[in-house]
Amino acid sequence: MTPYDTSRRGTHAATRSSLGPLLRLGLPVVIVLVVVLGIVQLLRSVPAPALSDTYATSRAVPGGPLSVPWPTQGTATVAVEGAASMGSYGGHQQFAIASLTKMMTALVILHDHPLSIGQSGPSLTVTPADVQLYGADKAQGDSVVAVTAGEKITELEALEATLIPSGDNVAQMLATWDAGSIPAFVVRMNQLAGSLGLTDTHYAGPSGVNPATVSTAADQLKVAEAAMANPVFAGIVDMAQATLPVAGVVYNVNADLKIPGIVGVKTGWVPAGGGCFVFAAKRTVDGRSVTVVGDVLGQQGATPLNTALSDGAALASAAGAALSVEQVVSGGTKVAAITAPDNPSISLVTASSASLLAWPGATVTESLHLTRRLVAPIAKGTRVGYLTVAIGSEKAKVPVVTTASLSSPSLTWKLTRL
């Protein structure tokens, strides 16, 4: 008989000791524990899919910066009407803006007494005080329109007299008719300026003769866009001439109206501020009618107003020629990736291309918007949102789709994940 091995006896005893608790619990309990642990794994929340490699938020159209004949003095700016600024020159210096003031005068009048195309509005009666004002302004060498006491002039005719031959006296007549007094009307002008966001503008009168009326190129561009959005205003400033009750035929001081495409808007000159010109020019780009707006302020020299007109025409022409319709995003462009548990990374791509009105150096912005939760399962080719591509206020929305399917995590993954 083999002698009894005391070392093995010790091993068996240790084993029985370590298994004791389990043996006492019994196999059914162990199975329950395993099941419970499995259920816990299955019920644990699955991490949500995440976006990565998102598209760049901004970039520039190739070929910039925009090359146009900026003036050599003063300030200037140019933009696509209702879209975006194309560029500026000379910073934010304030200038006395002279008769550009009458754009705001007309805006206030049309705000308080709206007109539609074909309407003439109520009549104003010319008073002896109005005639006296006419004589005083004429004696000072101001721009005036002849009036006589008792003359009846409609709102539309008064606006034509203010904007076409730039009648200082009629601008003041309109102001008194609207607000009861010049000071009260000036308050209305500055209130409207504030609502338009004109942070560097102050109006001191309705005609622009007062050199305390100052503004910047950027602010006057906002005024021009707001004014040209009114069809009555736009129609008046595009008129080469008008016929008034007493003054007869009057001619537009905007000599650039003879240039094809120029449709407005206003000139001005006072010694304190120099020559200035706000312009609007229509152009057809890829079959689409586009209006370029801009201005030139603070032009000096022997012929400051002619200089402003010449510089404005050159700027309008060059800016218009720089416009084109460009493809800003192509179909199949990757805009983001989705990373999700138990799935390879999949891409989100644009489902189509998009084109916008553009020019060299224009800033293109992109932003991704999801319209559904990224929760599996998601089939290949599913639309999950759209990419907004914009140049200023010009925008295009391009659908975004998945390039592969997104599956729910497998049972094995759920049970074995740490």
pLDDT of residue 25: 53
66 part of a folded domain = no
Asked if the structure places residue 133 within a domain, the reply is yes
CATH code, 290: 3.40.710.10
Count of residues making up the chain: 418
Which range among 42-46, 220-224, 225-229, 326-330 shows the weakest confidence by mean pLDDT? 42-46
Residue 68 lies in a domain: no
> Is residue 149 located within the same domain as residue 233?
yes
67, part of any domain: no
Confidence band (pLDDT; 50, 70, 90) for 3?
Answer: very low
With 80 as the cut, is the pLDDT of residue 7 above it?
Answer: no
SS (H, E, C) the chain: CCCCCHHHHHHHHHHHHHCHHHHHHCHHHHHHHHHHHHHHHHHCCCCCCEEECCCCCEEECCCCCCCCCCCCCCEEEEEECCCEEEEEECCCCCEECHHHHHHHHHHHHHHHCCCCCCCCCCEEECCHHHHHHHHHHHHCCCCCCCCCCCCEEEHHHHHHHHHCCCCHHHHHHHHHHHHCCHHHHHHHHHHHHHHCCCCCCECCCCCCCCCCCEECHHHHHHHHHHHHCCHHHHHHHCCCEEEECCCEEEECCCHHHHCCCEEEEEEEEECCCEEEEEEEEEEEECCEEEEEEEEEEEECCCCHHHHHHHHHHHHHHHHHHCCEEEEEECCCCEEEEEECCCCCCEEEEECCCEEEEECCCCEEEEEEEECCCCCCCECCCCEEEEEEEEECCEEEEEEEEECCCECCCCHHHHHHCC
Task: Tell whether 296 and 346 lie within a shared domain.
Answer: no
Does 206 share its domain with 332? Answer: no
Q: Do 115 and 222 lie in a common domain?
A: yes
Question: At residue 43, what is the residue type?
Answer: L
Does any domain span residue 70? no
Please tell me the least confidently modeled range out of 129-138, 191-200, 340-349, 379-388.
340-349
State how far the Cα of 335 lies from the Cα of 354, in Å rounded to an integer.
Answer: 14
Q: Is residue 69 part of a domain?
A: no
In-domain check, residue 1: no
Q: Could you tell me the pLDDT band of residue 17, with boundaries at 50, 70 and 90?
A: low
Q: Does 30 lie in the same domain as 152?
A: no
Q: Please give the residue range of the domain that contains residue 25.
A: 6-43
Same domain, 339 and 233: no
Whether residue 196 is contained in a domain is answered as: yes
Number of domains in the chain: 3
Q: For residues 203 and 213, give the distance between their C-alpha atoms in angstroms, rounded to a whole number.
A: 5
- Counting residues of the chain whose pLDDT is more than 90, the rounded percentage is 77
Residue 74, C-beta contacts closer than 8 angstroms, at least 6 positions apart: 90, 93, 95, 274, 276, 296, 297, 298, 299, 300
Q: Which residues contact 18 (CB under 8 A, 6 or more apart)?
A: none
Q: Indicate if 350 and 241 belong to the same structural domain.
A: no
- Judged on CB neighbours under 10 Å (0-12, 13-18, 19+), 284 is exposed
Q: Is the dihedral angle over the CA atoms 225, 229, 231, 233 positive or is it negative? A: negative
Tell me the per-residue pLDDT of 179-234, one tens digit each, with 9 for 90 and over: 999 999 999 999 999 999 999 999 999 999 999 999 999 999 999 999 999 999 99
The pLDDT value recorded for residue 39 is: 67
**98 residue type, one letter:** A
- Tokens encoding 280: 């609007």
Summarize the confidence of residues 342-354 as an average pLDDT. Answer: 93
Task: For residues 387 and 369, give the distance between their C-alpha atoms in angstroms, rounded to a whole number.
Answer: 6
Query: Would you state the structure tokens that stand for residue 212, as one six-digit string?
Result: 């305390």
- 153 and 169 in a single domain? The answer is yes
State yes or no: pLDDT of 371 exceeds 70. yes
Both 313 and 360 in a single domain?
Answer: no
Euclidean distance between CA atoms 277 and 100, whole angstroms:
8
Tell me, yes or no, whether 257 and 288 share the same domain. yes
Between 303 and 6, the higher pLDDT residue? 303
Using alpha carbons only, what angle is made at residue 190 by residues 187 and 192, rounded to the nearest 5 degrees? 110
- Mean of all residue pLDDT scores within the chain: 90
88 and 191 share a domain? yes
Statement: residue 45 has pLDDT above 80: no
Q: pTM (2 decimals)?
A: 0.83
Among the candidates 268, 293, 321, a domain finishes at 321
Phi, psi dihedrals of residue 123, rounded to the nearest 5°: -95, 145
Please report which confidence band the pLDDT of residue 44 belongs to, taking 50, 70 and 90 as the band edges: low
pLDDT at 29: 65
Sign of the torsion formed by the C-alpha atoms of 104, 110, 111 and 117 = negative
Domain boundary among 321, 354, 378: 321
Q: Provide the sign of the torsion angle of the four alpha carbons 23, 25, 31, 37, taken in this order.
A: negative
- Are residues 281 and 384 both part of a single domain? no
